[in-house]
Amino acid sequence: MGTPMTAKASVFIATSLDGFIARPNGDLDWLDQANTTVTEGEDCGYTAFMDTVDILIMGRNTYEKVLTFGPWPYEKPVIVLSRNPIDIPTELTTVTHSSKTPQALHTRLSAEGAKRLYIDGGITIQRFLASGLITDLTITLIPVILGEGIPLFSPQQQDISLTHTETISYPFGFVQLKYKTF
């Protein structure tokens, strides 16, 4: 029997032009406003990306933010990373909690047959990047400068080299950058 394939760990996220994923208080009003300019029926590749995803991994703050959006938007399994216990509503049968390190969780999910993980949330993305686990990033730049907020990236111990694979410029002003890390 061969060794299990290693799951890809992918980022698909929007940032302000100055690199923030949310306001300092976690608010996404700027993104909601920008989305009003998007051509009807255009999702900037999100549905096609989600069709390739087996499991979403998000941090507690992102999970708690998604809970405020209304009906739970994900049908796929979601693992919420947190060192502390999390209250998961019983109707969210696809949501579980893990306090494992990114490396341990990635190893476990790869061994279980996951092919692609969607990593979401600032701190969670930063932890997976620092562990060298992110394989590709899709970052959609929104034409707004916030000046402050929650950054997508944090200081790293070493440079993370990326290979540019594609740039898509949308007529409503969004610019999507795609990179591979290895």
pLDDT score at 5? 80
What integer is the mean pLDDT of 62-89? 94
Residue 2 has pLDDT above 60, yes or no: no
Residue 15 lies in a domain: yes
CA separation for the pair 27, 102 (Å, rounded): 26
In one letter, which amino acid is 148? E
* Whole-number Å distance between alpha carbons of 182 and 171: 30
Range of the domain at 76: 8-180
pLDDT at 156 over 90: no
pLDDT in tens, 88-119: 999 999 999 999 999 999 999 999 999 999 99
Tell whether 54 is covered by a domain: yes
Mean pLDDT of 24-42: 94
Distance CA 159, CA 130 (A): 10
Which of 150, 175, 178 lies closest to 163, judged by CA? Answer: 178
Q: What is the pTM of this model?
A: 0.94
- Of 8, 51, 11, the C-alpha closest to 177 is 11
- Report the mean per-residue pLDDT for the chain: 94
Q: Are 166 and 39 in contact (CB under 8 A)?
A: no
Question: Is there a domain that residue 111 lies in?
Answer: yes
Q: Are strands 116-120 and 8-16 parallel, antiparallel or unpaired?
A: parallel
Tell me, yes or no, whether 2 lies in a domain.
no
Q: What residues does 141 pair with on adjacent strands?
A: 15, 175
Q: Is the pLDDT of residue 77 over 90?
A: yes
Residue 35 lies in a domain: yes
Number of domains in the chain: 1
pLDDT of 3 above 90: no
CATH number, domain with residue 93: 3.40.430.10
| Number of helical (H) and strand (E) elements in the chain, helices listed first | 5, 10
